[in-house]
Amino acid sequence: MFLAEYAGLSVTQQQELRRALRANGAEFKVVKMTLAQLAADDLKIDSLDELLLGPTGLAFADGDPVGAAKALKDFSKDHEVFVVKGGLLGLEFLTPEKISELADIEPREVLLAKLAGAMQAPMATMAGLLAALPRNAASALQQLLEKKEAIQGVEAVEEAVVEAVVEEEVVEEVEGAVAEAAAEADAASDDASSDDTEAEVDEADAPEAEADTSEPADGTDAAAADAGAVEAVETEDDSDATEKASADAEVAGADAAADTEDDDSSADAEVEEK
């Protein structure tokens, strides 16, 4: 119950006040103060004696007292002649200040919703924790698998890099060996070219003595050279002998002719003598 001084309000303003209280489950009544004091004495409430004086109206809230207090406070802001003097919450006396604080409280439905939410929060938290256990475990396993795959990928890359380095070293060694072989081949070719050049110079300087002074490649060539020399000597000897025989034959022929002439002369002489 709330007590308010309504002196100075018009009938229209009082009807407006009643409609605002009725919308919040309350009712505004104007009674005689002597009857109100008797009721307070019957309930053994002494705190209302000083308030039940003058033109005072009573607002009874059958439902939520917060809504009625809020309606009275809002109406008093718009009408200066309307003054809230106090009230009762059960058997507890409410000063105007406490009524103002009561009006600032959120409505009952909102408070019940918050209370339900506060009661639901631990259960929701517990449910969330219980649901998070398998989810977190699955997430941890997934992260471990991804980490393992990443490590394997890094190892594979390292192996590939090592293989590439080894292959590059092998290629460099092969290229070095090929370069050395090419250099040796070029050097050998240069030596052979210089030998051929010297041989050509020697042949140009001594063409007649080449056959006699050239060394045979092996024993067979030496033997062939010796046989050729011997045959040449024999041929020369045979030629000399033939020429000598021819000369002897001519001499013999000449002698024979001379002997024949002598014989003919002798025969002619004998014939003349005869």
What per-residue confidence (pLDDT) applies to 115? 87
Fill in the DSSP letter of residue 82.
-
Task: State the Cα–Cα distance between residues 51 and 56, nearest whole angstrom.
Answer: 8
Look at strands 83-89 and 56-61 and give their pairing. Answer: unpaired
Assigned token pair, 215: 């060394």
Which H helix or E strand runs over 92? strand 92-94
Q: What is the average pLDDT across 203-232?
A: 47
Residue with tokens 């060394």: 215
> How would you class 87 by CB atoms within 10 Å of its CB: exposed for 0-12, middle for 13-18, buried for 19 or more?
buried
Cβ contacts of 83 within 8 Å, gap of 6 or more:
4, 5, 76
Task: State the Cα–Cα distance between residues 67 and 6, nearest whole angstrom.
Answer: 19
What per-residue confidence (pLDDT) applies to 216? 43
For the chain, the straight-line distance linking the first and the last C-alpha, in angstroms and rounded, comes to 229
Q: What is the average pLDDT across 119-129?
A: 82
Q: Pick from 16, 128, 17, 121: which is nearest to 68 by CA?
A: 17
Domains of the chain: 2-105 (3.30.70.1730)
Assigned token pair, 267: 């025969």
Q: Are 206 and 213 in contact (CB under 8 A)?
A: yes
What per-residue confidence (pLDDT) applies to 2? 92
- Output 63 or 70, whichever has higher pLDDT: 70
Task: State the Cα–Cα distance between residues 2 and 25, nearest whole angstrom.
Answer: 13
Q: Pick from 108, 24, 111: which is nearest to 69 by CA?
A: 24
Is residue 6 over pLDDT 80? yes
pLDDT above 70: percentage of residues in the chain = 69
What per-residue confidence (pLDDT) applies to 142? 83
pLDDT band at 213 (very low <50, low <70, confident <90, very high): very low
Q: What is the average pLDDT across 149-162?
A: 81
Q: What is the average pLDDT across 229-238?
A: 47
How do residues 162-180 score in pLDDT, each as one tens digit? 787 777 777 788 788 878 8
Assigned token pair, 16: 């407006």
Alpha helices of 4-95 — where are they, by DSSP H?
11-23, 33-42, 65-78
- Alpha carbon 79 to chain centroid, angstroms: 75
How do residues 235-257 score in pLDDT, each as one tens digit? 454 445 445 545 555 545 555 44
